[in-house]
Chains A and B, each alone.
Chain A
């Protein structure tokens, strides 16, 4: 059988170990130089966008509401890969040329903004009306109440779903390989193209994604415990 022949050959095993060792560093570099920054920057920009979108959705202003609703609907209703292609391959045809990395940032931020805005909106709406009124009753304005009273409580509510979005984003950044960002997965593709060890390289990349996401879930647990300190158990 093919399977047994693979492992039966000692030369093959040596070769795999050799390639694995050599490719580990470029993959890790891709993760550190691109995957992680791409994730972090997109998430922060996306979150800011999400808060504005959520506030627009719950504002009394019909125009803002409509803009926010169309934005969320358009992003959620179209594939992320297609969005990235429009930005990187589509826009140049009307003279808007953006480099791969900023293109990816724009695409991922817009995406996070749309999905996270729904999470934040639901979290804000879940805070009892009495909290707004208590804020108003001591003379706070809308924005003061929002910032000091509502958002701190809403952030606790929205942390688990936002963490899920964040972890999804780490994995979604592999799509940036399709618009020439030399992040981790693209490097795996490039190395594999020279030595045909697709299984090894892609598994290695998968492993690094897994390690990153695993560490993130530990951080998530810590933050959740911190935010839960004012909730009885």
Chain B
């Protein structure tokens, strides 16, 4: 489903991604771990084309963006539509209710009729356990509820892949579980997911593969049990010792 080939990203002089190669099969869940500044966020943002890679190739499904050639502005929106992005700090639209947040993409981008979008929005909010919060504004919701609206908003565009950038790291500990549960349900339904998180429980229970990034490269990848119990690389075990 996802195919990343020799992806490089450079900010001015700073090389952040130094040749990422990764394949993720349909319905697979990949958890990305690694120290702060290792390029995890940048990798997800490249997939969503919020950042333009410096070079390399991105493929999702049968759509390809080859950054060794000129990528035009018109190629980006259809490619971006293949991925749904969930942000660390939710980034909900504060002037819209939960339902309006979820309806915004379908109505404005896809031109769906309001009625259809409303039905779908209500269905999605029910799915993330927020049926009773439909008319609430973000400021009236807890962090965990806001993040679940964020997930519903991304799902409303019917992406092929969901990208999560530390979706629970801004949350109070008691709110983490409700968000992870929604993510696990999504994984169980067969959604292809790439999740940056340091929630080891989630990685153990839901991930098909764990990827350890450091210094802009993938240092090690493997099954969760293998990475967590017997990492091959010194850097991986050092990092795991720090966070566990």
**Could you list which residues of chain A lie within 8 angstroms of chain B, going by C-beta atoms?**
128, 130-131, 133-134, 136-141, 144, 148-149, 152-153, 156, 229-232
Q: Does B28 contact A (CB under 8 A)?
A: no
- A139 touches which of B94, B96, B105 (Cβ 8 Å): B105
Please report whether the interface of chain A is mostly helix, strand, loop or mixed according to DSSP. Answer: helix
A156 to B94, CA, bound (A): 12
Whether the pair A141, B77 counts as a contact (CB closer than 8 A) is yes
A141: chain B residues within 8 A (beta carbon): 77
A156: chain B residues within 8 A (beta carbon): 95
B89: chain A residues within 8 A (beta carbon): 130
Q: Does B80 contact A (CB under 8 A)?
A: yes
Known: A128-B91, A133-B91, A231-B94. 8 other contacts (CB 8 A): A133-B50, A134-B93, A138-B105, A139-B105, A140-B105, A140-B108, A144-B109, A148-B104
Closest to A144 in B: B108
Can you list the 4 inter-chain pairs with the closest CB atoms, starting with the nearest? A138-B105, A134-B91, A137-B85, A130-B91
Can you list 30 A-B pairs, Cβ within 8 angstroms, ordered by A? A128-B91, A130-B87, A130-B89, A131-B91, A131-B93, A133-B85, A133-B87, A133-B91, A134-B85, A134-B87, A134-B92, A134-B93, A137-B80, A137-B84, A137-B87, A138-B105, A139-B105, A139-B109, A140-B104, A140-B108, A144-B108, A144-B109, A148-B108, A149-B93, A153-B95, A230-B95, A230-B138, A231-B94, A231-B139, A232-B139
A52 to chain B, nearest CB (A): 21
A128 to B156, CA, bound (A): 23
A140: chain B residues within 8 A (beta carbon): 104-105, 108-109
B91: chain A residues within 8 A (beta carbon): 128, 130-131, 133-134
A149 to B104, CA, bound (A): 10
A144: chain B residues within 8 A (beta carbon): 108-109
A141 to B50, CA, bound (A): 12
Whether the pair A153, B94 counts as a contact (CB closer than 8 A) is yes
- Residue picked from A134, A149, A230, A232, most chain B C-beta under 10 Å: A134
Q: Does B228 contact A (CB under 8 A)?
A: no
A137 to B93, CA, bound (A): 12
Closest to B45 in A: A133
- Knowing A130-B87, A130-B91, A152-B95, the reply to whether A137 touches B48 (Cβ < 8 A) is yes
